[in-house]
Homo-oligomer: A and B are copies of this chain.
Amino acid sequence: MSENNRVAKLAQRPVGAVKRDDFLIEDEPIQDPGPGEFRVKLAYISLDPAMRGWMSDGRSYVPPVELGAVMRAIAVGHVEQSNHPGFAVGDAVTGLFGVQQYAISDGAGVAKVNPEQAPLERWVGGLGMPGTTAYFGLLDVGQPKAGETVLVSAASGAVGSIVGQIAKIKGCRAVGIAGGAEKCRYIVDELGFDAAVDYKAGNLSADLKSACPDGVDIYFENVGGEITDAVLAQMNPFGRIPVCGLISIYNATELPPGPKNLRSILVNRLRMQGFIVFDFIKRYGEAVDALGTWHGEGKLKMREDVREGGVDAYPDVLNDLYTGRNFGKLVLKV
């Protein structure tokens, strides 16, 4: 066992894209757990779009990461020392453990996972926060009905890929927007989406129209920007737009213009509604059970993009998320 804990601390609030200098990455002595605490050796750190917001000090749904504090991150690992009656050495656990090699926890917000049911990294992906986000966002906010068309952006990503597959499970037509032919092939051929639209191909509006011949009943919003505008023009009356993420603007130093097609919200009586998965925390069990069952039945396929380099690689790997250079749920191997 290494005697040090490699840790990434937020050194300054990033302007635009995240830079290496925005973090202080250093070694600290490994701590021993106090009474009622346990120590987790992290295996995989989850890299999520929301991280960029957590670094900023604008008003948001959670306080920003304080300067000098360990960067906030969901991770999965094993308990290796414990003074907590509920967590034993060897338990596989997920929680907000931060961007570091070892975390001390009192168990708050920590869940045990079953590595025999799915590989460890999947418990921060399709069976973790991205999966529950897709579950509540589509089912509770979107309220899909069989036969409707569900369109999702960032469709090959951690959340989008699950949204489309749950839409299929619920009897909907699932259409995904993704960047590039490979991701588009993946969501149709491997995940079973009915159609894919490559937003990089340059014919977004026309391609959306042919992929959604009956219009769009639910648009699951992950990206914002020009895609939103193009989709608004295709929405059916009484359509729903769960707003899960706006990854296209997270790094913006100057906010780009918003969607022009707001008239569609009015004349089509659309409901555009933001949500945060943490609001559904009391029902996580229900979501994880459903996701696990569908996964076990082969109805939910998941893909992780596991990166090497440990804590030191965090800033660079995170940037790949905002430029779409990941393919599947992005995780950092510790």
Interface residues of chain A, those whose CB is within 8 Å of chain B, are 53, 59-61, 224, 228-229, 237, 243-246, 249, 255-276, 279
B residues less than 8 Å from A263 (CB atoms): 246, 249, 255
- Per assembly, the copies of the chain total 2
B residues less than 8 Å from A261 (CB atoms): 255, 258
Name the CB-closest residue of B to A273.
B271
B269 lies within 8 A of A237 (CB): no
**Given A243-B262, A260-B257, A262-B243, does the pair A267, B237 have CB atoms closer than 8 Å?**
no
B residues less than 8 Å from A245 (CB atoms): 266
The distance in angstroms between the C-alpha atoms of A266 and B137, with both chains bound, is 12
**Given A270-B273, A271-B273, does the pair A224, B262 have CB atoms closer than 8 Å?**
yes
**Given A249-B263, A263-B249, does the pair A269, B258 have CB atoms closer than 8 Å?**
no
The distance in angstroms between the C-alpha atoms of A267 and B274, with both chains bound, is 7
B262 lies within 8 A of A273 (CB): no
B272 lies within 8 A of A246 (CB): no
Among A60, A256, A260, A267, chain B packs the most CB atoms within 10 A around the CB of: A267
The distance in angstroms between the C-alpha atoms of A272 and B269, with both chains bound, is 10
Name the 5 nearest CB pairs between A and B, nearest first. A257-B257, A258-B258, A255-B260, A266-B274, A258-B259
